[in-house]
Structures are given as C-alpha cells and as structure tokens.
Structure 1
Amino acid sequence: MGATLAALLRELEPDGRLLMLERLGEPALESSAAVNNAGTGHAANCELNYTPERPGGGLDISKALRINAAFEQSLQFWSALRERGRLTDSTFIRPVPHLSLVFGEEGRTFLRRRHQLMVEHPAFAAMDYSEDAGELAGWMPLVMEGRREQDCLAATRVERGTDVDFGRLTRQLLAGLTAPHGPLELACGVEVTGLQRRGGLWQVAWRSRAEEPGPEQGVVETPFVFLGAGGGTLPLLQRAGVAEARVYGGFPVSGEWLVCHNTDLVERHRAKVYGRAEVGAPPMSMPHLDTRWIDGRRSLLFGPFAGFSTRFLRQGSLLDWPRSLRLTNLLPTVQAGLGNLSLVRYLIGQLSQSQEQRLEALRRFMPGARADDWRHAVGGQRVQIIRQEGGRGVLRLGTEVVATADGSLAALLGASPGASTAVSIMLEVLKRCWADRMVSSRWREVLLGLVPSHGQDLNTDAVLLDRVRRHSDATLGLSREPVPPGAAS
C-alpha cells in the first residue's frame, strides 16, 4: 500500500520528497510477502463471500462489481508504470483461471443463481458454468479424480484470472522510486516510536533496529503521514493520538496452509479453486486449492486454516493485542466478540485441528490427496477491524481508510481484498487528503494517463471496459494480443 501511494505521488508531484520507514531489514517481508497472503488477484471472479445472500432472498452482487472495477484500476496503473519503465517487467502477475466450487444441490442452486446474475454484466460476461463431470475434470483434474459418479458438484470459471506476487511487485515499485535521482528515501530496520502534531507538521520519532552503524534514533518533520503497516497500523494510529482512532479496535487472526511438495501435482493443477466459507467464519477462511508463484517458483497450496496469536504482525510482539486495548475500545471489543459467537467457535475449532483433520478438509476438494505430499505452513497475520458504531462494537470484515479531518494523516486498516485494490484505495486516500488537487486539471490529466477509467464507471461502459482490459492484458503479458495504438487513451 505504501509503495503504491508513493508511486502515485511520484507521478502527480515529481518534485516531491518521500520518506518510507520500514521496520524490517528489507521491504515486503510482512503482509505483502507472497508466503503471507493468498496471492489471488481479487476481482470477485471466484470469491463467493463477495456475493452474499440477502436476508429476504436473492443475491447481492454490488460488492463484486465494485471489487472487479477496483482491480481493473490496479491493472491499468501497473500497465502504465510498465510502459513508462517504472516496472522492469511483469513477472509479478501471471494468468491463472479463477473457479468457484460448490457441493450438493443447495450449492448448485446458489451458484447457478449467482452465475445468471453476474453474466448479465460486462465484467463477468465470460464466466462459464458447468455441472458436467467431464468438463469439470478438464477445468480441475485433481479435484475430480477419485470422485463418485453420484457426487453433486458445480463450478464456474473465469479464464481471465490472475495470481499476483505482491512482494515482488512492491520491490519493483520501490526499486524505481529509490533509483538515482528518485524521489523516495527508504530506511529499513527503523521503528516508529512516536507521532506528534506540532506547529502544522507531524513529528515522527524513530529508532534503529538494525545492527549496521549509523544513527540510533531521530525525528523527522513532515506535513503528511501515511500509516500502511498491515496489522501494525492500529498501534501507530493510536500513538498519533488522533480522535479518529478512538472508535477502532482490532482482532488478530493468522492464516495457515497445507503446501504441496509433489511437483507432478503442482504441474497438473492450473487454477485457483475457491469454495464457500463455513458459517460464522471470516472471509479470509474461504477454502481454496491454489496455483501460486512464490519467489518465481510454481506452488500448490490449500487453505487457509485459521490460527490465533496476540501478535498483530508475524514478526511482531505477543503484547501487540493487549497493548492496543483502551478504555475507548475495550467494551466494543467485548461486544463484537459476543455478537460474533459463531466466529469465536470457529476459531476455537480451528485451533484444535490436527494435521489429519486439515487433510480431511483438503480431501473434500481433492479426494486423492495423500498425507506424504503435503506439509503444514504458517502464513501471515491479519487484524480484523472492530469499530464502535451506534454505541456498540461491530466487527468489520474488509479494508478501511482512516483520515484525519485536516487530511494530514491517513491510515489503512483491515484485510481482504487488500492489495488487489491498492490503487483504488490509495486514490481514496488522495481524495480525502488532497481534495483540492484531485479536482485540479493537472492532477486529473495525470491520473487519466495512469488509470484511464478514473472517474468513470466500468460497470456501465462496456466499450471502455473492453478497451482497458485489452490494453492491460497485452502490456502485462496476460494475453498474446498486441497493444493497439492509442488503446489506453
């Protein structure tokens, strides 16, 4: 998120000076690292929680449409940076079909209705639906092998899906920003110890965590601060002492995976197959059998399984959660827990799982899975948002921008869909913190060059959607079509 905002500001304000303080020894080792997230280019193609059932019946696909349009903005931005030489290559993103998988007649009915609604919109017009065992075997052979004839399955497929290594992308963005004469100074091994507003500027106190010789601590003054530290954002926001932080609390949840080390199986599965989350489970728990590229190597993962730690970051402190509790968020945190007892029960059940129970969950997707082919691995930490609303604590499952009234500080809380919609989210940060510049002709012209659909609705303009998709796919190597002259204009 921070690298995306810095890349946007570099294009909008070429003479600006940027400083990034990174707690670890290198960038993108925490939330952005490929091993610590799902790696799916979240476009709502396969994530069934983005199309919930309405209380009175029917399905709500409005969130899916918003997320798809937001991901298209990310693709446009990455494409523009690739053309300008800001990104050295496009190996951070690869084409992988996105599938939704359901079991049983009720699941088929749900998926059929979902497909019928979604294909009416240009964004999902190419989505296929099938209940045919032979066709499904072609889409996901490992899932269909060993199935009984009477098994009741259905799936949808979007061929234009992607896997994104957000760690690699982050490092490429920062390499371009920190190159000679670049606008960004990147300081690694530095921990923020204080945030204080004085005389119209923020004073950011820091101390070194690195072993290399150099200053051990210092203070930086700046007119604007962005907090994009993943699970570590909430403590920083609280440290800033702003009124906007008082309504927030957080609940940490970790992800765990089964990783396949049988290269034959890895090569045979070429899709991201998403199922339905258990009742009461958080969105990040949607089970999926996933083709992944981690550090340039093709992998196969199944999960996630939920774990629990009081750390807000994988490389954080066990005191992170206790230290985040305040008089203003303690009661809302308790209320959110009482209001989500199904989630609490789910987490308790996940924590007590054995390796054999994880394999049983995998075998629902992949009946022939053998224990010898899979090992257990721990992924990243996520902090779910708890917000005080109407005098009660509410668990917010999503991504949320917090900004001070004067626009001098912004922070990003939450998890999914996260990095996939980074460009859309950072455009919101710009709108809330630089509202006057966002309406200026110069910024609008620059933004249209970076994100051609900016300010327009891709869900109602099929011609624009087709044009930007063709251009992004060709530029990022997601198709073999040549880039048409002026396609992005």
Structure 2
Amino acid sequence: MFFCKSKSIRTVKMSNRQIKTDVILIGAGIMSATLGSLLKELVPDWKITVIEKLANAGEESSNEWNNAGTGHASLCELNYTVEKPDGSIDISKAIKTNEEYQLSKQFWSYLVDSNLIRNPEDFIMPLPHMSIVQGAQNVTFLKKRFEALTNNPLFQGMEFSDDPEKLMEWIPLMMKDRVLKEPIAATRIESGTDVNFGALTRMLFTHLKSQNVNMKFKHSVDDISRTSDGSWELKVRNVDNGSVERHAAKFVFIGGGGGSLHLLQKSGIPEGKGIGGFPVSGLFMVCHNPEIVSQHYAKVYGKAPVGAPPMSVPHLDTRFIEKKESLFFGPFAGFSPKFLKSGSMFDLITSVKPNNLVTMLAAGVKNLSLTKYLINQVMLSKEQRMEELREFVPNAKSEDWELVVAGQRVQIIKDTAAGKGTLQFGTEVISAADGSIAALLGASPGASTAVSVMLELIEKCFPQHMEAWEPKIKEMIPLYGVSLMDNPELINDIHTSTGRTLSLSEEMSSQKTRRSV
C-alpha cells in the first residue's frame, strides 16, 4: 500500500497474497460467536478468522441496546401460541422454541463449567415472564392458552389470575391507578430470564481470541467469489485506510445480520436466488428513574395491534445493562431502507435483483396493511408513544421516559407454498448444496435460539464430520438429539443443572422477585 498526498488523493494497492484459513466468520455477532465457540471445541486446530466492519463485537443486532433481551422460551409471547378455528390452542411453536432455548442454556452452562467464560450473572438474570390481556375474548384466550401450556411439562409453574388484587401484587406499576372498564388477566412464571446478548457476545469473542482466533475489526467484505480449488475468496477492505486483502477459506459463514443478504447475493449460489429482504426498525421508551424502576420486576408481553408485525408485540421489561436496572417499553416499529443500523440508505434498493424482483413486488402488494402500519408508527410523536405506554403504565410521565433507537431487522421475503412474495418472520439458514458457505437471514427469536440454529448449520454444512463430532456435542449439550416431549423426566434435571451453573436457581429468582410480590 502507498499513499499519494498531493490533493489529498489516496491510492490503495490490493495485496496479491492470499491469506488462507479453515473457516471465515463474517460478522461479530452472537451467531458467529456461537458457531466459532462450537467449532473451537469440536476441532481446536482449525484456523478461524472473524471479519467485522465495526470496531467491536456485538455492536449491531446482538447489542443490548438493539434487542429486547428476551430469553425466548415461549413463556410470555402470545404470538407463539395460535388459536385454531376450532377454538383450541396450537402450542407447537411454543414447544419448539422452548426446547431450542434449553439447548442454548446447556451450552452456556458448559462454557461456564469449563471456565471458558465466567460470571454468568453478567449476561443472564432470572426474571419472571408474564402475559397480560384485557377484554372478555382475550381473557378467554389467555385462560385456554394457560391450560394448554400447563398440561405440558415444559411450562410447569405457570400461574393464571384474573383477580385485580393478585395482579397488583405481581405488577404494581402496571396496576396502580388503572381504571378497569373490562376484564383483565395475566399469566406469570418465575423461570423466565433476561439475557444481555451484547455482553454474552463479547464474552464469547474474548474466549475465542484467547484460542488464537484471528479477529479483524473495522474490516468489510466487499466481494465473495469461488476459486478453482472449491474454496471461497473474500475481498476484504480495511475501513480506515482502504487497503484490501484477499482471504480464502474452505468454509464461510455469513452472519452479518441484515447485511447477510447482500453478501449471500454476491456469493452467487443458486440457493440464494429469489430471496429478498424487508427492513423494519425499532424504537423503545426507556426509563432509568430508580423510583419507577423499583416498582416493576418482570418481562410483561401484551397482544400485538391488528396488522402489526410479530416483532412489534408490546412489552414492558426489566432490563439489566452494565449491572444497572432499567425499564424498556416497546418496540415501536419504524421504517428505514437500511439493512443495518450502521448501513446505507441504498441497502433496500440495491438488494433488488432480476432474480427476486417479482418476489419483492408481490410482497409489496400483499403487505399493504403492514406498510400502512409502519408509516403510522413512523409518524408518531413522543406523546403519542407515551399514550401507548400508558396502556401498560397508566400514570407514566413523559419526563421519566426517553426514546432509544433499537436495531434494524430484515425479514425474509421468499416464494413459498403460501404464494409469491411471502414475508417470513423467523430465522433461516441458507447454505450451498456442498455446505461450503452458509448465511443466516431473518430475525426473532434468533439470539435466544443461536445454539440450535448453529447446530442445524453444522449438520447441514459438515455432514462428513458429524459421526466423529457427535460425542463431543453431546458432552457440551446433553439435550442434543433428544426430544424433551418424549423424555419429560429430563426437564427438572435440565432446569436444576443449568439453573445452578447460570445462577438461575429458584432461591435466587425468589430473592429477586421479592419486590413485586
């Protein structure tokens, strides 16, 4: 590299040297951190390089200020349990998500027990999870949901109440000064958690760095191409000085959050064609006032407004960030054409390609109500957002709450059995047929199910190694390949062992919840 100082023009020379490694992880978020940590345990001698365009790990979707911090176990998310036409409640998604979260907790416990990460209380805390509804029809739904869930051993310990006095004990901040014009009810379970995924991501990368993983911060992947020997070559640019390096690996994981779609398209693999993305931004109202924060200790989910995307289900959460408690309310949906919080205003338009144009247009036609909803959300004033908050906290005062811009989410758009341009809510691994490259697209419940998602990726991309790796995977994650529904006797053992290691025992949870009962 050389610099030409005249007229402040800089000329950058691209290195002709190809830097080879076994695995390249693009993006330093929770997904890359999880995959890197799993692979380092399975094959310690593999060389791994992490490429991140920002200055630190966990700065985008994984950051604690950019996500809801929910350890998604379907304990409170009403949209994970759907009422069927016959009136029964379908809890299949709730079961699946809960089991996936148990895998995450087991892997984190393994890392703590092995002294690979320490101080679990810095990233996970016990916190009751609650659902609340108003109106006779919604109360009936919640009661049926409660009965369906508590018939399943995964959800033992959940309580239901439609008694305002009991709700006053559970959620005093939400019940104080509330005028009850219609029935109200809530469910509560103490085994919920609050997870600081930003802190966990940084812990995992600190561990990986100690294992000689090459961390390249402030480097951006400009292009991806296949080489003659079947590996992948990445054109990697230093964002500070513009110099370019060529990195090659046998396996590449694209875990760049919303930015993954563009990189998947650059790879040119057939599996990535016909897929689009729709960005949705989020905002939260945040309270730091200790007098108010001390009156609430729970994560409380309500029902989403009609036409709202699932990520916009309103909830009032106790959060732990940098060992300080605060309250978050939201999210309020918004729209930005950026695919990342630090992205470009041209992200959406440049993601439209000839192979996904029809799919994107179809999605636009099918989701006019969503577009209208997002426009209305963007136009809300702070006082209008406070009015929505007062549905949860009747006496909330504007001066106690501030607006915080959360992260960007890019929902997948693809052609499915439901038709062209179907908007997908969830996460999905897209991989090449030979398993040499994979990308993670989508959003919630993403981070909470990171271990399950990365195990799925490992199975898809490294089938030739699975027989040799399976014993180690089961050592790290005893639940791997086991259905808790078929082995209910394991559930208490799992809760007890992970609770002890991660400091989530019932005794600790009870001490924490003493303020709200």
Given the two structures, how large is their TM-score scaled by the length of structure 2? 0.90
CA distance in 2, matches of 1:53, 1:352: 32
Alignment of 1:7-26 (within 5 A): 7-26=37-56
- What does residue 195 of structure 2 align with? 164
Which AA in structure 1 matches 2:219? V
The answer to whether residue 452 in structure 2 is matched with residue 424 in structure 1 is yes
Identity %: 47
Deviation at 1:150, TM superposition (A): 4.3
CA distance in 2, matches of 1:44, 1:131: 21
Which AA in structure 1 matches 2:161? S
- What does residue 146 of structure 1 align with? 177
The answer to whether residue 317 in structure 2 is matched with residue 286 in structure 1 is no
Change over 3 Å in CA distance of 1:399–1:477 after alignment to 2: same
- What does residue 162 of structure 2 align with? 131
- What does residue 7 of structure 2 align with? none
The answer to whether residue 145 in structure 2 is matched with residue 114 in structure 1 is yes
- What does residue 449 of structure 1 align with? 475
CA distance in 2, matches of 1:83, 1:462: 24
The answer to whether residue 396 in structure 2 is matched with residue 396 in structure 1 is no
Which AA in structure 2 matches 1:102? V
Which AA in structure 1 matches 2:484? L
CA distance in 2, matches of 1:248, 1:320: 14
Contact 1:95 1:160 in 2 (8 A): yes
Q: Which of 87, 95, 100 does residue 117 from structure 2 map onto?
A: 87
Q: Matched residue pairs, number? A: 475
- What does residue 463 of structure 1 align with? 489
Deviation at 1:443, TM superposition (A): 1.2
The answer to whether residue 231 in structure 2 is matched with residue 201 in structure 1 is yes
Aligned to 2:94, the other structure's residue is in SS state: helix
Contact 1:400 1:413 in 2 (8 A): yes
Aligned to 2:448, the other structure's residue is in SS state: helix
- What does residue 403 of structure 2 align with? 376
**Where do 5+ consecutive residues of structure 1 fail to align?**
483-489
Alignment of 1:180-199 (within 5 A): 182-198=211-227, 199=229
The Cα offsets for residues 237-273 of structure 1, whole Å up to 9 and x where unpaired, read as: 0011111111210000000111113211112210000
Alignment of 1:234-383 (within 5 A): 234-383=261-410
Tell which deviates more after alignment, 348-357 or 73-82.
348-357
Deviation at 1:348, TM superposition (A): 1.6
Deviation at 1:131, TM superposition (A): 0.5
CA distance in 2, matches of 1:57, 1:363: 31
Contact 2:282 2:405 in 1 (8 A): yes
**Where do 5+ consecutive residues of structure 2 fail to align?**
1-30, 509-517
Deviation at 1:481, TM superposition (A): 7.0
- What does residue 438 of structure 2 align with? 410
Contact 1:189 1:210 in 2 (8 A): yes
CA distance in 1, matches of 2:180, 2:402: 30
- What does residue 233 of structure 1 align with? 260
The Cα offsets for residues 208-237 of structure 1, whole Å up to 9 and x where unpaired, read as: 0136xxx82111110000000101100010
Which AA in structure 2 matches 1:41? G
- What does residue 486 of structure 1 align with? none
CA distance in 1, matches of 2:369, 2:471: 49
Deviation at 1:30, TM superposition (A): 0.6
Contact 1:452 1:468 in 2 (8 A): no
Q: Which of 33, 36, 58 does residue 63 from structure 2 map onto?
A: 33
CA distance in 2, matches of 1:243, 1:295: 44
Change over 3 Å in CA distance of 1:203–1:443 after alignment to 2: same
Which AA in structure 2 matches 1:312? F
Contact 1:10 1:183 in 2 (8 A): no
Tell which deviates more after alignment, 410-419 or 149-158.
149-158
Q: Which of 189, 192, 209 does residue 178 from structure 1 map onto?
A: 209
- What does residue 220 of structure 1 align with? 247
Tell which deviates more after alignment, 160-169 or 368-377.
368-377
Task: State the superposition RMSD in angstroms.
Answer: 1.4
Aligned to 1:36, the other structure's residue is in SS state: coil
CA distance in 1, matches of 2:254, 2:100: 21
- What does residue 464 of structure 2 align with? 436
Aligned to 2:145, the other structure's residue is in SS state: helix
Deviation at 1:55, TM superposition (A): 4.0
- What does residue 485 of structure 1 align with? none
Q: Which of 90, 94, 97 does residue 60 from structure 1 map onto?
A: 90
The Cα offsets for residues 381-414 of structure 1, whole Å up to 9 and x where unpaired, read as: 0001101235611100111111110000111000
Contact 1:329 1:388 in 2 (8 A): no
Deviation at 1:161, TM superposition (A): 0.5
Deviation at 1:420, TM superposition (A): 0.2
Deviation at 1:66, TM superposition (A): 0.2
Deviation at 1:147, TM superposition (A): 1.5
CA distance in 2, matches of 1:147, 1:389: 45
